[in-house]
Amino acid sequence: MQSDPFDKTGRSNTRWQQSLLSREVRESRNRHRAAVLWFTGLSGAGKSTLAHATEKRLFELSCQTYVLDGDNVRHGLCGDLGFSVEDRSENLRRIGHVAKLFFDTGVIILSAFISPFSQDRAFVRRMIPAGRFIEIYCSTPLEVCESRDTKGLYLKARAGLIKDFTGVSAAYEPPTDPELIIDTQQQTIAASVEEIVVLLVKRNILQL
């Protein structure tokens, strides 16, 4: 396992238990290769909508797949974290390790998180074998994201009721070299999903 700079648990007292089933064996049964699809972008950019629509399409193609959604993990696994820079990094560290566990089972895991900092996304990328981490940047403009604002978060942030809100009072570092860029303002969800499927085929993750 790679060194985790955040680990403070005394790993010398634990030992990684190797499964009797390799990822390759699991992939052969699934009839597709494992991958981590990482959706990043501002709140309201369409990450969760696109991730869930892609999950449904992959399920229809008989893939083993699951979405890790930013809001959902805040209800349990990361319910003790806030939105400071440190807590956001810890949030991504935890999700990265969960995604890696799913990956090892041969699943196509879809992660939908703002994940505003490039170093945190790079940390997760390093955990996954080359070619299996696919960063999908939902590049929808801020004004469009604000116009959607189904949760009223931008209004609260503009009013100073929410601190450290990405795009308003906290920075977002766009990916410099993502595998895919999608503007959900310009492209339909259906077209975006098919673009992702085509990419998975090109990467030899899916065979249609």
Residues noted as catalytic? 115
Q: Are 203 and 35 in contact (CB under 8 A)?
A: yes
Q: Are 83 and 163 in contact (CB under 8 A)?
A: yes
Q: Are 117 and 88 in contact (CB under 8 A)?
A: yes
Q: Where are the alpha helices (DSSP H) in 41-138?
A: 47-60, 70-73, 85-104, 118-127
Element (H, E) at 142: helix 142-148
Burial class, 118, CB count within 10 angstroms (exposed 0-12 / middle 13-18 / buried 19+): middle
